[in-house]
Amino acid sequence: MAENDERARIEEARRIASDLLENGVVMGVLGLRRVESHVEPYLFTTKDELRDLNISGRYAIARVAENLLRRWDEGALGIIIRGCDERHLIELSKKKSVDLKRIITIGLACTDHEAKECHCLRPYPQKIDVGKSIGDVDYQDHETLARLMEMDISERRRFWSDIFNRCIKCYGCRNSCPLCNCEDCRLEESRWVRVGEIPPEFPSFHLIRAFHMADKCVGCGACERACPMGIPLGKLHQLIREDMKRLFKYETGLNPEDESPLQNDLEKNPLEVQLDEL
Amino acid sequence: MNKPLTAEAGEKKTELEFVPAIAVFHCRWCLPDSDSVRSLLNEEVAAKSVVIPLNCTARMEAEFAIKALSEGFDGILILGCEIGECHYRTGNHRALKRLLLLRDILALVGIYPERLGFFWVSPFDQENIRLTINEYLDKLQELGSFK
Amino acid sequence: MNYKTVMSTCPYCGCGCGIYLEVIDGHLVGTMPSCTHPISQGSLCIKGWSAHEFVESDGRLTRPLWKRGANLETTDWDTAMYFVAERLRNIKETYGPHAIAFLSSAKCTNEENYLFMKFARAVIGTNNIDHCARLCHAPTVAGLAYAFGSGAMTNSIPELEEASCILVTGSNTTENHPLIASRIIAAKEKGAYLIVIDPRRIHLANYADLFIQPTLGTDVAWINGMMNIIINEGWHNREFIRTRTENFEALKAKISEYTPDRVRSITGVDPELLKIAARAYALSPNSSIVYTMGITEHTTGVDNVLSLANLAMLTGHVGKRGSGINPLRGQNNVQGACDMGALPDVYTGYQKVSDSASREKFEKAWGVTLPEETGLTVVEMIDAAAEGEIKAMYIMGENPMLSDPDINHVREALANLDLLVVQDIFINETADLATVVFPAQSFAEKDGTFTSTDRRVQRVRKAIEPIGESKADWQIMSELARLMGAKGFDYKNPEEIFKEISSLTPSYSGITYERLDKGSLQWPCRSLDDPGTEYLHKDVFSKGLGTFTPIDWKPPAEVIDEDYPFYLTTGRVHFHYHTGTMTRRSPTLNREMSSGSVDVNPQDAEKLGIKEKDLVKVRSRRGEVKIRAKITEMVPPGVVFIPFNFRESAANALTNSARDPVSKIPEFKVCAVNLEKVTTRR
Ligand code: SF4
Ligand code: SF4
Ligand code: SF4
């Protein structure tokens, strides 16, 4: 049944992609294809190639889209996206890293099972072309989040410094995140993080990244999945997202017109908390 | 969602001889002179600390504070103009938001947010500034060394 | 316009991560981990993430070079090939085939290593072929083959997660085998007990349940000490010893000499700590040992390996899922280069040159008569070159001018040759001395296979067109062989070479490209429906009964004295690979670390008045280097550490080429040096 469903969804995505290619409105359609035993990102440029189209496998594909659009200065790109990919694109557009006008999305709603696997809250894009939305859910890893929050401050310090010290500075967290794409990355500059040392010094490496991502992160969890040392980066970002909501009532990935409260003054985005003292 | 942060679960107990090292960032519109800012610190603290002028607290990036912790400073003190008094009108609004967020992030990973001090000062009230700074240093005394 | 990803295998370390090469309009622009790959599982280390960076870098060799006067000048392929063919033929005729020696490469594919060794043996007629495994795991191959009958990692990388106790010794795993360290951490999260025994306080030590820091060069002593405790406490596995091993009584007699007090006096290890380690290792249901160069790179390398094998058999911790002895091989394809017979005493699959049946089999397949006598090892080749017995050397993708011990001696030896042919992707210290340099292709430009440390055979796939006029090593070898009139070198592609390998190698006989397209296969894989072997020695050792060997501790070849009061140990660092030929051309990696430094303990630093980043002179009986100091607790007092990755501060100007008597590995890990601050006048 589930497999049938997947086949039907692939069929539908293929049909739409094929139309886009046929009508010549896009340079190509970015998606996943199955080759032998694995599934890999691929830019489909002919209808023939769509034979191998696939939708399983999790690659934060907006990273590739950004790269492609940066290298080709004109034309539109088709892209098969899920909810998290769409939120990446919206945030990339706020950063002026992609021009949404050059993107035609084929939106894919995730199944309940897929949403669970990703600890997702919103497993659908705003424009759905394939599959049916299961609506908002709450599949967060509450157990882990609660455990992190229940610790008192010194336990937290011990936990995080210990777990950050596992870091082997692979930059996988940064490389896998579509939104962590600054040309000059502070994490690479010796004035902010000492170079050539593992683990990188606490707390520079991890908190600089955490802070930079605070008003961009859409909570996709790609960074955590890429971390070879099992550092719960996704959980940390989830907690920071909660802080962003509490302090500024701000949520990422919803509307390309929204502006980060960190860029604005208090008149435009007042604080959501009482300041009794500083 | 944050649990109240209480001092009794200290990172390290206060030692009598502990003298905190701090990084002070001050706006040069309300406090033009770094030397006079330094003179507001007691001698022992001043000897271990750095004082850095900023054009506006909006210039205060999170990296400055985070790197200061990495480099072994026990606290970061930011002194800027009161809301409404900013030379650039709203520079300090952005600073305020960033610092509030940074404090939350510090707390998440178990660093006392109080280590990040952020105070609005009026250039006409030196005594009040000295008092504020002393209170902040007392707090750091209580929290002990960061490392 | 075009964007594709090409599934391949990381060209750096033996973990063997699966990476996608991202190709835009014919250029390599990035890499990505494969989420479905059994090793990488969506992660990579910094080297894997930047594996594309060196491929199209400026320094790539694009045309053949040959020496005109004192300089290397460009020439065309025909000229260079004819020249080399002619000179090789000449030297062979004048001095005999054994005046020619071959250094193969753990960076090249299996197909290329196979062809290189076929060239040496079938075309030239010599067994003088070796490669850098001599400098890392030769003791493993010799020691484990003697004890168990097979010299490879007994388990698979993913299985480490199933171990209940992991003993890591002489391996700085997080730095050098990051994606294996990742499994060790995962195992620990699942409750495994982690023991780290290392003279240096390595990164992983912070996560160990127990960390023991013995004196450098005392491995046999602490291992014997651990076994002494195990036997006295009755923690050994009598059933396993009775049914699966031989020679236990002899071991027992020897071990009884290693009382905890005696072991303490040799190693400096507190007997109580050793007892905790012994108990955890012996009594956990699934214990695994992980080791690397810290065990092998000694004059007692084979002794050290045999001792670990003793320990594993004594407790029955081998031949089970998640439990065994796991030497981590360094280079991406060092396992493969050994499997392919790029060694002086064996053909593919460790079939002995001295065994007439194997010899006949290869003679028949290749249509030639093959030499019987074992060839020279790397270090012996260099000595023979220095003495004028070796006249020509052919070096494929290696850089002995930086990787071998006592490099001043290496330079003299290479300069003494009549012909030095180097085949590489960049000019390096060795190529500078060459008569002819052939431009080869990187992993991204060719097809083939690598075999990673857990005997995992995987595909390497062509992602971009060759850079300049470069050719793949297998093409160069085939063309040269044909030019020299040899038969049986008409391969159209690497797959044809692989078919020949499978047909001659029992452990590879079930492996085909078609099967590899569906995923990796671990040898032994003997038939087309054999799924491969996750762990070795189940129920019975490859050789039948496992053999215990009583071993005595011997001090290192060079010990400290008044003139040279510090022990020097060497190794790699995380951000670079070996001699840096590739990594130092990668901007990402070079930014992280662009020069070497010597690690000095704070106590020693204070005594000598050395401060962080001071320039110091490190001197041994063989040479000296000037290098910046790094003050760190990572090394204990009395010991200094220098990575060998950097040419301007080459650790191997200092190291001792004294060798293990059996495996001939040089003692990289211990030599005596002195240390002195360089005072600069202002
Ligand atoms: S969860 Fe991680 S990868 Fe995803 S957007 Fe946030 S920071 Fe980036
Ligand atoms: S992915 Fe993990 S190990 Fe790699 S740099 Fe990020 S936190 Fe460190
Ligand atoms: S762990 Fe080894 S194989 Fe994996 S990415 Fe790093 S260097 Fe490559």
Condensed to tens digits (0 to 9), the pLDDT of residues C383-396 reads 999 999 999 999 99
Please report which confidence band the pLDDT of residue B1 belongs to, taking 50, 70 and 90 as the band edges.
Answer: very low
User: Which of C469, C509, C485, C187 minimizes the C-alpha distance to C339?
Assistant: C509
| Residue contact C34–A40, C-beta within 8 A | yes
Mapped to the 3 state alphabet, what secondary structure does C361-393 carry?
HHHHHHCCCCCCCCCCCHHHHHHHHHCCCCCEE
So what's the architecture of B22-132 in CATH? 3-Layer(aba) Sandwich (3.40)
CB atoms < 10 A from the CB of C363, how many? 15
Torsion-angle region of C332 (φ positive above 0: left; ψ -120 to 50: alpha; else: beta): alpha
Question: At C607, phi and psi to the nearest 5?
Answer: -60, -40
- Ligand 1 centroid to Cα of residue A240, in Å, is 11
* C509, pLDDT greater than 60: yes
- At which residue do the structure tokens 């001018």 appear? C401
Task: Give the closest residue to C436 by CA, choosing from C80, C4, C42, C10.
Answer: C80
Q: Using CA positions, which residue lies closest to atom 8 of ligand 1?
A: A177
How far is it, in rounded angstroms, from Cα C585 to Cα C587?
6
Residue contact A243–B111, C-beta within 8 A: no
Tell me the helix, strand and coil percentages in chain C, rounded to 5. 35, 20, 45
Inter-chain contacts counted by CB atoms under 8 A, chains A and C? 115
Residue C627, SS3 per DSSP: strand
Does residue C583 have a pLDDT over 90? no
φ, ψ dihedrals at C569, nearest 5°: -125, 155
Q: What is the pLDDT of residue A274?
A: 64
Question: Which residues of A lie closer than 8 Å to C, measured between beta carbons?
Answer: 27-28, 30, 35-43, 45, 57-59, 64, 67-68, 71-72, 165-166, 168-172, 175, 188, 195-196, 198-199, 225-230
What is the share, in percent, of chain C residues with pLDDT greater than 90? 56
Query: What mean pLDDT do residues B104-128 have?
Result: 87
Q: Which atom of ligand 1 is nearest to A219's Cα?
A: 1
Q: Is the peptide bond before A199 cis (omega within 30 degrees of 0)?
A: yes
Number of H helices, E strands in chain B: 5, 4
CATH of domain C566-677: 2.40.40.20
Fill in the amino acid letter for A230. G
- Cis, bond preceding C158 (omega within 30 deg of 0): no
Inter-residue contact C392 to C679 (CB < 8 Å): no
Q: Which of C166, B70, B115 is nearest to A161 (CA)?
A: B70
- Judge contact between B109 and A232, C-beta under 8 A: no
Residue with tokens 């080709």: A72
**Residue reference for tokens 């200290």:** B10
- How many CB atoms lie under 10 A from the CB of residue C40? 26
Whether C258 and C228 have beta carbons less than 8 Å apart is answered as: yes
Q: What is the rounded distance in angstroms from the CA atom of residue A82 to the CA atom of residue A32?
A: 12
Q: How far apart are the first and last CA of chain C?
A: 58
Token readout for C174 is: 């997080």
Distance between CA B31 and CA C248 in Å, rounded? 81
Distance, CA of A59 to chain centre: 9
* Alpha carbons A112 and A118: distance in angstroms, whole number: 10
At C658 the pLDDT is 66
Judge: A67–C29 Cβ closer than 8 Å, yes or no: yes
Parallel, antiparallel, or unpaired: how do β-strands C18-24 and C287-291 relate?
A: unpaired
Task: Say what the pLDDT of residue C648 is.
Answer: 62
Q: Which of C35, C44, C519 sits opposite A37 (nearest CB)?
A: C519
> Which chain C residues are within 8 Å of A230, Cβ to Cβ?
182, 185-186, 189
Domain range annotation of chain C: 3-49, 65-132+333-522, 138-328, 566-677
Ligand 3 pocket, C576 CB below 6 A? no
C452 in helix, strand or coil?
Answer: strand
Assign domain C65-132+333-522 one CATH number from 3.40.50.10130, 2.130.10.10, 3.40.50.740, 3.40.50.620: 3.40.50.740
CB C616 within 8 A of CB C609: no
C25 burial via Cβ count (<10 Å: 0-12, 13-18, 19+): exposed
Q: How far is B93 from chain A (nearest CA, A)?
A: 5
What distance in Å separates the CA atoms of residue A223 and residue C618, rounded to the nearest whole number?
Answer: 42
The values of phi and psi at residue C213, to 5°, are -120, 85
CB of A231 within 6 A of ligand 2: the answer is yes
What mean pLDDT, rounded, does chain A reach? 88
Alpha-carbon distance C544 to C532, whole Å?
Answer: 20
Which one has a higher pLDDT value, C399 or C516? C516
Per the CB < 8 A criterion, the answer to whether A92 and A98 are in contact is yes
Query: Per DSSP, which regions of chain A are E strands?
Result: 29-35, 38-44, 53-54, 77-81, 103-107
Average pLDDT over residues C607-634: 86
Whether residue B9 is predicted with pLDDT greater than 50 in this model: the reply is no
CA of C427 to the centre of ligand 1 (A): 41
Q: What is the pLDDT of residues C54-71, one digit of tens each?
A: 888 888 899 999 989 888
Average pLDDT, chain C: 88
pLDDT at C279 over 90: yes
Joined tokens for residue C44: 């990579």
The domain ranges of chain A are 2-118, 142-277
Instruction: Write the CB contacts of C480 (distance below 8 Å, at least 6 apart in sequence).
Output: C81, C84, C85, C119
Q: Please report the pLDDT score of residue C209 as a whole number.
A: 94
Residues C361, C371: Cα–Cα separation, whole Å: 13
Name the β-bridge partners of C72. C67
**Model confidence band, residue C77 (pLDDT cutoffs 50, 70, 90):** very high
Residue C681 clears pLDDT 60, i.e. is over it = no
- Cβ–ligand 3 distance for C13 under 6 Å, the answer yes
Residue C546 phi, psi (nearest 5): -75, 145
How many helices (H) and strands (E) would you count in chain C? 23, 26
Per-residue pLDDT of chain A (278 residues; tens, 9 = 90+): 455 588 889 999 999 999 999 988 898 999 999 887 788 899 999 999 999 999 887 889 999 999 999 888 788 999 999 999 999 999 999 989 999 999 999 999 998 888 888 888 899 999 999 988 888 888 888 888 888 888 899 999 999 999 999 999 999 999 999 999 888 888 888 888 887 778 898 899 999 999 999 999 999 999 999 999 999 999 999 999 999 998 888 899 999 988 888 887 777 767 766 665 44
Whole-model pTM: value is: 0.88
From edge to edge, which strands make up the β-sheet containing C165-169? C210-212, C193-197, C165-169, C287-291, C325-327
Task: Give CA–CA dist A213/C443, Å, rounded.
Answer: 35
Question: Is 80 exceeded by the pLDDT of residue B143?
Answer: yes
pLDDT the model gives residue B83: 76
Is C580's pLDDT higher than 70? Answer: no
pLDDT tens per residue, range A141-166: 888 888 888 889 999 999 999 999 99
Specify which residues C18 forms β-bridges with: C9
Average pLDDT over residues C553-572: 82
pLDDT at C682: 45
Copy the structure tokens of residue C161: 């997660």
CB C290 within 8 A of CB C157: no
Which tokens is A204 given?
Answer: 């520079």
Rounded-to-integer distance, Cα A157 and Cα B65, Å: 17
Give the list of residues 6+ apart from residue A143 with CB closer than 8 angstroms, or none: none
ipTM of model: 0.90
Amino acid B12: pLDDT: 45
Q: Do C574 and A59 touch (CB under 8 A)?
A: no
Which one, of C492, C503, C203, C202, lies nearest residue C348 by Cα?
Answer: C503
Q: Is the pLDDT of residue B3 over 60?
A: no
How much is the pLDDT for C581?
62
**H or E element in which residue C555 lies:** none
Strand order through the sheet with C3-9: C3-9, C18-24, C27-33
* Amino acid (1-letter code) at residue C172: N
Structure tokens at C361: 């089999």
User: Cis (ω within 30 of 0) for the bond into A203?
Assistant: yes
Q: For C677, phi and psi rounded to 5 degrees?
A: -75, 135
Residue-level pLDDT at B10: 41
Q: For domain C138-328, is the CATH number 3.40.228.10?
A: yes
Predicted local distance difference test score (pLDDT) of residue C673: 85
What is the CATH class of C3-49?
A: mainly beta
Q: What CA–CA distance (Å, rounded) separates C313 from C239?
A: 11
